[in-house]
Structure 1
Amino acid sequence: MIVPDERAGALEWLAFEQAGVLTLAQARTVLSEGTVRGLVRSGRWRSISRGLLLAGNGRLTRDQQLWVAVLAAGRGAVLAGATAAIEAGVRGLRLEPVHVLVPAARRAARTTLRRMPIDMAAVVVHRTAVLPAEHLQVGRPPRTTTARALVDAAGWASSTRQAQEIVAAGCQQRRVLPEELATVLDVLPRAPRRLLIRQTIDDVAGGAQALSEIDFIRLCRRAGLPAPELQQRRTDTAGRIRWLDAYWRQWRVHVEIDGAHHLDVRHWAADMQRQNDIWTTGDRILRFPAWQVRAHPDQVADTVRRALLAAGWRPEN
């Protein structure tokens, strides 16, 4: 579609702003019903579903699908959850289905949503009684803020682990601050997985940068081990800045949690050199693959406990 100029009519402006997607009511504010029917019959326009039109005749683009979802859901609908988070730049989330949030006081146009064309993504409509103005982001289409989107997405996730991943991803990618998530959660007393989301926010605020580190912190907590410092800055023997995943400074015990990238031979060699540098300063270093932290937490906790005891830690009676 060509970007409209000052001479463009009201309909062209509206179609441009909404990626070519219009409601029948919007079209009728400018065109007669007969003209609209003629555009559809001639193939110049496309009828998407009851009451929705495309000012064109091609397959729906991603932007157009988002507009279809919002307009089909009706007045007050906004993009939400993972969909709104993706629009805010959060990576690694599922594109489908498209999540839409509507005020609890009204119902979405479910009949329209059931009659979508095959090139339209599935749409899931959620209802909420709490949607203050500060949770809304100015955008086209309208959506919730990144913080509200991530809290909702975590609550609607298919599993506990996916919920944690969503919260961690938003913070790790610097798209939102833990404090912003906490502020949203404060006004959602009935949010699904509220306690889990709060714990994940606290873990991220404590320095955890990846889900494997969050798993490790919770492992230590359950095992009665002292809490380590996370993501501690350190300068190696070559003068390069390094970050320690978990470090007990008092006992000089260091834990590295290895993700898949550590299997690459270049990372492997760099990791060995870093491990040697740490050992030569007198620190003890333990390394665990992320899958072991997740699948065998008791085994990992036992190893860490023995290392701390050997370094002089004594559990409180």
Structure 2
Amino acid sequence: MATDRQPRVERRERVAAHAAEQAGLLSRPQVRGLGVTAAQLEAELAAGRWRSVGRNTVVVAPPWPTDTVAWWQAVLECAPRAAVGTRPRAAIAGLTALVAAGLSGIADDGLVHVAAPKSSHPVPPPPGVRVHETRRWRDEDVVTILGVPRARPEVAAVQAALWARSDREATLLLVATVQQRLTAIDPLVSVLERVKRDRRRSLLRSVLVDVAGGAHSLNELDFAAHCRERGLPEPDRQVVVSSARGSSYLDVRWRRWRVVVEVDGVGHLQPDRWIDDSLRHNEIALGGDTVLRIPSLGLRLDPRRHLDAVERALRHAGWTPSPPGHPA
């Protein structure tokens, strides 16, 4: 009996050592690849020493008390043919990969997102897992930091934005990824250039321009176009004003009604810019102007509510709409 028991113990230890790198989990093909026969696998499961989770995954060692277990199970279930020691042809992706990279402050959608190559025919995923088959799969886009195969932050950010439930969520994901320094603008632009057809492609490109700080005049032109569509008077742009703090430029001002609108790009959220903007805002307001601030991303995503506030400010200052056929 002792000689029969020894190989079984050694086999379990060998399997557990490999599983330790995968949060205590192995796929059934991985277990078989370690020299365990189908009968031996079923015997371990029947004895309760190992436990089956999902269609293709087995718990063979104490699982880690982290999200890593769910992430590993999702990957192994969707890439069950991966051999031990090889990288699965699936990886956590999108918002899940961003969370794994350290993203915070964004509401999770409650799903584990997994990317797999197009036509790889992943098995039906377990509940709570969403598989995205993609033609843009590249092995070099996957990293294995902390063991779990996951999309690089710049790839994950673009994926998350494309898969987001709304344009607002897509925008916030891109902005948060850069602000939290998970990646930079240039890698994001490079990944986005691979996207040839998607309804959000133009939006995401414009967001990246905003985040990079290169759309200042574009924001003002967009704002002026919104004003014309709404029938508001044409604003003056890049107006120079003087105050106790010196001269500065205002994005938009209606001199006659003393209404100022500042269209803030993402760069204005940096602490030093934020403080300077607040001081300038206060000086202008103390001089008698009404000052409204509109984030550039808000102007893109929800212009109506921002223009409502502008119209109310102009009406309060004495502006009235011109009769049809007359200039505003």
Q: Place the TM-score, normalised by the shorter chain, in its bin.
A: 0.5 to 0.7
Paired residue secondary structure (2:23): coil
Pairing 1:27–2:41 present: no
Q: 1:279 to 1:297 in 2, by over 3 A?
A: closer
From 137, 145, 154, the equivalent of 1:147 is 154
- The answer as to whether partners of 1:219 and 1:301 remain within 8 angstroms in 2 is no
- The answer as to whether partners of 1:77 and 1:102 remain within 8 angstroms in 2 is yes
From 70, 75, 78, the equivalent of 1:70 is 75
Question: Deviation string for 1:26-82 (max 9, x for gaps)?
Answer: 112243333322322222221112221012477985211111111111151111111
Paired residue secondary structure (1:47): strand
From 55, 58, 69, the equivalent of 1:53 is 58
- Return 140-149 or 89-98, whichever deviates more: 89-98
From 106, 127, 133, the equivalent of 1:127 is 133
Alignment of 1:196-207 (within 5 A): 196-206=203-213
From 279, 284, 299, the equivalent of 2:308 is 299
Alignment of 1:172-251 (within 5 A): 172-206=179-213, 219=223, 222-223=226-227, 247-248=250-251
Give % identity: 28
Give the Cα separation in 1 of the matches to 2:157 and 2:27.
29
- The code of the aligned residue for 1:84 comes to A
- The answer as to whether partners of 2:220 and 2:263 remain within 8 angstroms in 1 is no
Deviation at 1:103, TM superposition (A): 0.7
- The answer as to whether partners of 2:251 and 2:263 remain within 8 angstroms in 1 is no
Length-normalised TM-score, structure 2: 0.65
- The code of the aligned residue for 2:305 comes to H
Pairing 1:11–2:15 present: yes
Q: 1:89 to 1:105 in 2, by over 3 A?
A: same
Give the Cα separation in 2 of the matches to 1:69 and 1:79.
8
- Higher Cα Rg: structure 1 or 2? 2
- Return 173-182 or 217-226, whichever deviates more: 217-226
Q: 1:215 to 1:18 in 2, by over 3 A?
A: farther
Q: What is aligned with 1:166?
A: 173
Give the Cα separation in 1 of the matches to 2:112 and 2:212.
29
Pairing 1:81–2:94 present: yes
Q: 1:218 to 1:149 in 2, by over 3 A?
A: farther
Give the Cα separation in 1 of the matches to 2:172 and 2:192.
17
Length-normalised TM-score, structure 1: 0.67
- The answer as to whether partners of 2:116 and 2:132 remain within 8 angstroms in 1 is yes
Q: 1:254 to 1:219 in 2, by over 3 A?
A: closer
- The code of the aligned residue for 1:107 comes to H
Give the Cα separation in 2 of the matches to 1:27 and 1:171.
40
Q: What is aligned with 1:101?
A: 115
- When the two structures are aligned, how many residues end up with a matched partner? 262
Can you give the 5+ residue segments of structure 1 that lack an aligned partner in the other structure?
1-7, 209-213, 230-235, 238-243, 258-270, 307-317
Q: 1:273 to 1:59 in 2, by over 3 A?
A: closer
Q: What is aligned with 2:85?
A: none
